[in-house]
Amino acid sequence: MKFDYIIVGAGSAGCVLANRLSADPSNRVCLLEAGRSDDSSLIRTPMGLVGLLSTRKYNWYFDTEPQAELGGRRLYWPRGKTVGGSSSINAMVYMRGHQADYDEWAAAGNAGWAYKDLLPIFMEHEHNERGASAHHATNGLLNVADVRSPNPLSHLFVEAAVQTGITRNMDFNGAQQEGAGPHQVTQKNGERWSSARAFLHPVMDRPNLTVLTGAHVTRILFSGRQAVGVEIERKGERQSIEAEREIVLSGGAINSPQLLLLSGVGPKQDLARHGIGLVADLQGVGQNLQDHLDVTVMIRDRSKQAVGVAPGFLPRAVAGLWQYWRKREGFLSSNVAETGGFAKLSPQSELPEVQFHFLPTYLRNHGRNLAPGYGATLHMCQLRPKSRGFIGLKNADPLAAPMIQPNYLSHADDWDEMLRGLKLARRIFEADAFRPVNGGEVAPGVGVSSNEDLRAYIRRSAETIYHPVGSCKMGRDGMAVVDDQLRVHGLSGLRVADASIMPTIIGGNTNAPCMVIGEKCARAILR
């Protein structure tokens, strides 16, 4: 098979790329996805995310290396393995990030990546059901909506946050990000609106676009320093696909660096260790890994308004099924993380250091161990960690999982912010707004009060909030992997377009920014 463009990964960025590159009927485009089709009611139903996070069917189901600062635990990292990628299994929160983060990228020499450059793209993508404004638009393919049937407890979170001194904010993607308020979500008519549903499904019938699922790319093929194709494994057979113009890696912050390493692009000393022939000695491939570490506070809900795992919830569950089937409303239309916020930890802070996601249910450990009863969960993550990790190879087997070493909390400053953020989360639950429903703290627990006790709680319970970035960073320095046009340094015909190119992690959720990265790459190619 021969194409003009090959896109590796049908995720948040890859679906945008496939749409834009195939808009010209003279471009032959091939989109390769290792996972299966996204034609699933579990994916379409927003509340289905609880099941998606705990199953391997649509999920790479990665595990990290043991974390020295987290009691030697291996943390579970779910990532989308289906058409739509992680936009098909995430919590659908539509968040652009803080202006200052993008301006920092531009200040580091990445021309065209300042917030003023990216805001028009965010708006071009968006169809916001609230209507057009200075910060929002209504002509895009990505539907952005308010949660249809929010739980009453979600409103209490906002009131409680305001009572602790956090400002009220009804639009995190508006004039400012700081504050507490409702999340907008990537949904349409009460269903998940992934990057695939927004950008790929409407163009699947283009004759010049080929989408192959179950196609695991095992290596990039080179002629000298020119990328000329890829090798895939599909249905138990290996085959090669040629690219006459360019190949774009959009596999995400784990898979993209792994594929580069398997293909001979990366630190030469690491490649030699695994017997992989060197194509380009790029020391930054797999380095600079960053993620948002998350810890939870949980309370009992004595009002029983929460989504519960209890016999008494059965009538509501049955009614909810009927309500969703008839009107696409009710608790099944919830993205679970209905409200949230961004907060500064001191008056001197220039930017919010922590983010909250409020859930009107018990949910931790990615929903793999559902706690019985009625409760509420407040997730708190540190937004700009200083700890840095890496993605590496365990061996040269392209079908094996890579080594994931985030090095959580390896920088002392990260510990300080996690502790202060956890204390703020507890204060929110202690506020007057929650008093009528708060039946007592479940976690960390009433006996956990000293800094050492809280450190121990973080060590045994902290998890990812699903935002790994940075492992093929954009820039000009010796550790950069791509330039500001997303071209891999020193090679021809090869780009990377996904969360891995972020030089520094943004202060917020990463799904919408990844779609913008896909758009930026498409424009650079077609320019």
Catalytic residue annotation:
467
Q: Provide the Cα torsion 168, 171, 172, 176; round to 10°.
A: -70
90 is annotated as contributing to ligand binding: yes
Contact 22, 209 (CB under 8 A): yes
What is the C-alpha radius of gyration for the chain, rounded to an integer number of angstroms? 22
Nearest of 187, 87, 106 to residue 467 by alpha carbon: 87
Q: Is 93 annotated as a binding residue?
A: yes
Which residues, at least 6 apart from 217, have a Cβ–Cβ distance to it below 8 Å?
8, 32, 34, 230, 231, 232, 251, 259, 398
Which residues of 156-278 form beta strands (DSSP E)? 179-182, 184-185, 187-188, 191-192, 209-212, 216-223, 226-234, 237-249, 265-266
Tell me the three state secondary structure of residue 349.
Answer: coil
| Cα 436 to Cα 222: distance, rounded to the nearest angstrom | 65
- State how far the alpha carbon of 348 is from the alpha carbons of 35, 50, 239, 381, 384, in Å: 46, 38, 58, 20, 16
List of residues 6+ apart from 518 with CB closer than 8 A: 12, 13, 14, 15, 16, 17, 20, 195, 250, 497, 498
**C-alpha–C-alpha distance, residues 171 and 92, integer Å:** 15
Pairing, β 29-32 against β 2-8:
parallel
- Binding-site members are 90-93, 217
Question: Which residues are annotated as part of the binding site for FAD?
Answer: 90-93, 217
